[in-house]
Amino acid sequence: MYFTTEPEGEPRLPFYTTVLCLVCVLILVVNGASLFHNLASLNGANAVQGKTVSVSDKLQKLNVLVMDAESNLRGYFLSGSDVYLGPMRTATAEVEPQFRELELLLADSPSQQKNLAQLRTLVWRKLDVLNQTIGVYREGGLADIARIAATDDSKADMDEIRLLMVIMAKEQNESMAAHRAAFYAEYQNAVILGIGINAAAILVILLFYRLIRSSFASRIVAQRALQHANENLESMVALRTDQLSVLSRHLIRLSEEEKSRLARELHDEMGANLTAISIDINGAADELRREHAHIAQRLDRARMTLITTVELKRRIVENLRPSLLDNLGLAAALQSYCEEFATVTGVDCEAMIEDGVDVAGPMHAIAVFRIVQEALNNVAKYAGARHVIVHLSRDGDGLALEVSDDGIGIDTDQAAKPKSHGLLGMRERALLLGGTLTVSRGVNDVGTSVEAWIPIEPKKNGAEAPGDASPGGAVPQLTMADASLSEPRPPAGGHTPSSPPCNTPRHIPPGLDGQLR
C-alpha cells in the first residue's frame, strides 16, 4: 500500500469534455439567435402585410366616400331633398382623417407619399367641384346642372382618382411581395442553418453518448475492481480475525496454564517452606521461652507474621485457581464464590446450581467459573443491582449458564465496543471450547442477562474426557501443615509445646549449565 503526502489539486474535467460543453453552448446560442431573427423577420413580414391591407382598406374607403358623395348628389339634384347630402357631408368630414392615417402607414415610402399627395389634391378638387355644383343647383336649378354636366369632365376626374388608387395599391402589393420574397429567402437560410444546427447537435449527442458510455464502462471496471478489493480485504480481515481469535484463545489457555502452574508451585514449594519455617520458629520459641522470654516474644510476633503470609498465599492461590474447583467440583466452587461475592459487595447473589454440572472437565469448569467471575465483577462495577442470579444447568451435551441482574442494564452498542475487554474475554473463553455467549437486556428491559452455552463430554470410568485435563495439573488440597498455621496454638502450661522435628531440604537454584550447585 502506498501513501502520498502531496496535496491533491482541484479536480478538473478532461479537455475534450470542456470543448464539448462549449460547443453545446455555442450551438444553443446560435440556435437561439436564429430563432430570434426568424421571429423578427416573420413579424416584419406580418407588419408589411398588415400595412398593405390597411392601405388597401383606406384607399377603398376613400373611393367609396367619393363615389357615394357623387351618386347621392345626383339623387339630390333630381329630388331636391337634403337627405341625399348626407354622404357629401360625411365625405367632407372623413376624407382628411383617412389621408392622415395613410400618411402614417406610408411614411417609409417616398413614392407612395408622392402618390398620396397627388391623390389628396384630386379628391379635394373633386369634392370642391361637387360643392360648387350644389351651389349652382340652389341658384339656377336642374337646368344649370344639366348644362354643367354636359360641359364638365367629372368622369375623367373619377377615373384619374381610381387610377391613382390602383397605382398606390399595386405599389403597396409589390412592396409586400418584395418583403415576402426576402422573408422566404431568409426562411430558406434559416432552414439550412437549422439543419446544420441539428446535424451538429446530433454529432454532439453522439459524442456525449460515446463519452457517457466510456465513463459508464470505466465506472463498471472501477466498481468491479473495488468489489474485488473489498472481497480481498474481507477475506484478509476474516483471516486476521481468525488468527487473532486463535491467538486470543491460545493466550487464555496459556494464562490458565500459567496460573495453574504458579498456584501449584506456590502451594507446594512455598507452602512447604512456610511450614518448615513455622516448625523451626515454634521449636526455637519453646527453647527460649524460659531463659530468654523477650526473644520468644519476638519469635511469636514473627510467627504471627508468618501466619498472615500463609493467609496471603492462600488468597493468591485461590485467585489463581480456586482449590474448591479441583477438590469439590464446579457446583461447590460457584456456590462458595457467590456467597463470598454477596458478603463483600452487599449484593444479594443467588446461586441456582442444578445436578449434573460436575461432569465437566477442568478446562470447561475453569471457563464457566471465569465467566461467572467476570460477569459478577461487571455487576459490582457498573450494574448498580440489588439482586443477581447465577443459574447453571445441564443442557443436553453442554452446560447452560445464565447470569442476570436487576441493574441499569447494558446497551447493545456498548456491548459491541472494542474496549469491552471483559465481555470479549468471556466470549473468547466460550468460543475456545466451541460454545457461544450472548449479552443482552434482561426481562422487560430490566438489568443485563449474560447467557453462555459450553459443550462438554462427560467423564468415562473416572477418567477425564480428552482435552479436559488441566495443562498444569490440579492444585492439591491444602495440607494439615497449612491448617496448623491458620491459628496460633494456645500455650500448654505456660509454654507452647514443640512440634515434631521436620527436615526440609534447602532449595538451591540450578546453575546456567542445568546442574545443581
Question: Do residues 203 and 348 both lie within one domain?
Answer: no
pLDDT(107) > 70: yes
Report yes or no on 144 lying in a domain. Answer: yes
Sign of the CA dihedral running 339, 342, 348, 349: negative
Residue 13 has pLDDT above 90, yes or no: no
**Does this model's pTM top 0.85?**
no
In the predicted structure, residue 460 carries a pLDDT above the cut 60: no
Clarify whether residues 212 and 340 are in a common domain.
Answer: no
**How does residue 388 score in pLDDT terms, banded at 50, 70 and 90?**
very high
Local confidence band at 470 (pLDDT 50, 70, 90 cut-offs): very low
Within a domain: 130: yes
How many domains are contained in the chain?
Answer: 2
Q: Residue 271: inside a domain, yes or no?
A: no
C-beta of residue 207 within 8 angstroms of C-beta of residue 20: yes
- What average pLDDT does range 500-510 have in this prediction? 35
Q: How confident is the model at residue 148 (pLDDT cuts 50, 70, 90)?
A: low
- Does a structural domain hold residue 125? yes
pLDDT on residue 105: 82
**Domain end position, chosen among 455, 480, 498:** 455
Q: What is the mean pLDDT of residues 503-508?
A: 35
Domain endpoint, select from 455, 482, 507: 455
Last residue of a domain, one of 162, 188, 217: 217
The answer to whether residues 19 and 149 belong to one domain is yes
pLDDT of residue 292: 78
H/E stretch holding 400 reads strand 398-405
User: What is the per-residue pLDDT across 116-144, written as a single tens digit (0 to 9) for each?
Assistant: 888 888 888 888 888 877 877 777 777 76
Confidence band of 373 (pLDDT split at 50, 70, 90): confident
- Any idea what the CATH number is for the domain that residue 415 is in? 3.30.565.10
Residues 203, 320: Cα–Cα separation, whole Å? 83
Q: Is residue 484 part of a domain?
A: no
Whether the predicted pLDDT of 259 surpasses 50 = yes
Q: Which carries the bigger pLDDT value, residue 77 or residue 335?
A: 335
Tell whether 111 is covered by a domain: yes
User: Grid coordinates standing for 75?
Assistant: 339623387
Averaged over 205-214, what is the pLDDT? 83
Phi-psi region of 504 (alpha: psi -120 to 50; beta: other; left: phi over 0): beta
In a domain, 99, yes or no: yes
Q: Is 313 helix (H, G, I), strand (E, B) or coil?
A: helix
Is-contact 66 158, C-beta < 8 A? yes
Nearest residue to 472 via CA among 254, 316, 261: 261
Are both 160 and 38 inside the same structural domain? yes
pLDDT of residue 490: 38
Q: Could you give the percent of the chain with pLDDT greater than 70? A: 81
Domain that holds residue 377: 328-455
Q: Are residues 205 and 335 in the same domain?
A: no
Helix (H, G, I), strand (E, B) or coil at 146: helix
Q: What is the pLDDT of residues 149-191, one digit of tens each?
A: 655 556 677 778 888 888 888 887 888 888 788 878 877 888 8
For 46, the enclosing helix (H) or strand (E) is helix 15-79
Report the range of poorest mean pLDDT among 40-44, 234-238, 436-440, 504-508. 504-508
Q: Is the pLDDT of residue 403 over 90?
A: yes
Residue found under cell 492462600: 314
Same domain, 69 and 195: yes
Does position 41 have pLDDT exceeding 80, yes or no? no
CA distances from 32 to 71, 188, 202, 372 (A): 58, 17, 17, 82
pLDDT score, position 10:
61
Q: Is residue 4 part of a domain?
A: no
